[in-house]
Amino acid sequence: MRGRTVNDSRSTWLARTLGAIFVVAGIAKMFAIKRFSSTIAGVVFLQQNVALVLAVLVVGFEVLGGVLLLLGVRRRLTAFLFLFLIGIFIWVLTSAAMQGKEIACNCFGILGIALGNRGELILDFILLNAFVVLAIPRSAGAGFESPGRKRRWRRAVMIVGSLFIGLQISLITSIPFEGRRQRSGDTDALIDAVGRIDSLFASAPASIRGVIVLRYADLNCPVCFDDLMELIDSLNARMNQVTVTHRVVMLVSPENIFPGDSGERVRRWAAANDIRIPVLSIPDTVRTAGRFARSLLLIVNPDKRVLFEEAFPMGKGKRESALSLLCERSM
């Protein structure tokens, strides 16, 4: 009887801890619901208004489910529902990682807790295991009167649990979270092409230089666009525009969208979005000849050796690494 009381108190403590986590996370996302909905829209390619509805439902469930866990109401049912939700999160993160993508989760809203996708997956697996424990009936295995059968039951549970956790560890360590680098891209040809178009870029003093290759189709991805603008805003705020402005340029190919356009639309678009780095109109053949299939940031040293290459969205951690290279080492 005492053992059951101890188990009940542990389950109550676990349920309240999980409930508190999701109530806090859900409320924090309420104040950043548009950013969270943009994440959903970019991941599952939904229209923004549909993604907003889905985001509200997810946040509402997190808060309501967290409150139920805190109160100890419908504990097992709530745990099973959270298992389903976390399973979706794990599937999305795993799929994105296998495609070389970095998802800016915005899972903690205004709290600003930014984890890399590997960290997010580890956290999701920890939560998954906690909810599995919470969802297991307290009476499981209690019907075995024979001590031998109880021992065999516990041994079986330990074996299955160890295999389950081992599978998770294997998955986390085997996924290429650093992203698939587009090393097939002809970097030298791209840098040379930029130098021919922008003489200031070509004649810049020996330094770290960056090129943003922009593909118009990627602007339809809200998360990709938001990640790009976060980088631009940070460059605007950190870089000395007088001395290093032409060390970072953006390449766009308007001809496949606006045939015969002289670049005026691109200049207006850049001005409207407060893009202060040079925006260069290039033939789309420059990008395709370099075999850069997606919008990305490329950073090279004076010898054209690639120091950084990442497609959008790159996420906060990688964005900070790129800014460190572009700003601190260039100024």
For the segment 3-41, what is each residue's pLDDT rounded down to a tens digit? 455 456 777 888 899 999 999 988 988 887 877 777 776
Q: Which helix (H) or strand (E) holds 280?
A: strand 279-281
Check whether residue 141 and residue 250 sit in a common domain: no
Domain assignment of residue 181, yes or no: no
Domain assignment of residue 65, yes or no: yes
Q: Which helix (H) or strand (E) holds 188?
A: helix 187-197
| Separation of first and last alpha carbons in the chain | 70
Check whether residue 299 and residue 250 sit in a common domain: yes
Domain count, the chain: 2
How far apart (Å, rounded) are the C-alpha atoms in residues 298 and 308? 6
Check whether residue 149 and residue 241 sit in a common domain: no
- Residue 200 one-letter amino acid: L
Retrieve residue 327's tokens: 């700003």
Domain assignment of residue 10, yes or no: yes
Among 174, 202, 217, the domain boundary falls at 174
Q: What pLDDT, on a 0 to 100 scale, did the predictor assign at position 179?
A: 46
Check whether residue 15 and residue 111 sit in a common domain: yes
Check whether residue 107 and residue 229 sit in a common domain: no
Q: 238: exposed, middle or buried (C-beta count within 10 Å: 0-12, 13-18, 19+)?
A: middle
Domain assignment of residue 180, yes or no: no
Check whether residue 308 and residue 216 sit in a common domain: yes
Domain boundaries, position 323:
187-328
Check whether residue 166 and residue 17 sit in a common domain: yes
Check whether residue 142 and residue 60 sit in a common domain: yes
Which among 248, 303, 300 has a CA at the least distance from the CA of 278? 248
Detail the DSSP E strand segments found in 87-154: none
| Residue pLDDT tens, the chain, 331 long | 444 554 567 778 888 999 999 999 889 888 878 777 777 766 666 666 887 888 899 999 999 999 999 998 888 899 999 999 888 888 888 876 765 566 666 677 777 676 777 788 888 888 988 888 888 765 555 555 566 666 776 777 677 777 877 777 877 777 766 544 444 456 777 777 788 878 777 776 657 788 888 877 777 777 888 888 888 888 888 765 445 566 788 888 765 555 555 567 777 878 888 888 888 877 666 665 555 667 888 888 777 777 778 888 887 777 887 887 777 544 4
Domain assignment of residue 182, yes or no: no
238: domain CATH number?
Answer: 3.40.30.10
Check whether residue 48 and residue 195 sit in a common domain: no
Check whether residue 127 and residue 26 sit in a common domain: yes
Q: What pLDDT, on a 0 to 100 scale, did the predictor assign at position 3?
A: 46
Domain assignment of residue 287, yes or no: yes
Check whether residue 168 and residue 192 sit in a common domain: no
- Residue 109 one-letter amino acid: G
Domain assignment of residue 320, yes or no: yes
Check whether residue 130 and residue 158 sit in a common domain: yes
How far apart (Å, rounded) are the C-alpha atoms in residues 302 and 11? 59
How far apart (Å, rounded) are the C-alpha atoms in residues 215 and 225? 11
Q: Token match 């021992």: residue?
A: 151
For the chain, what is the radius of gyration of the CA atoms?
25
Rounded (5°) CA angle 265-266-270: 120
Among 147, 174, 201, the domain boundary falls at 174
Among 174, 201, 230, the domain boundary falls at 174
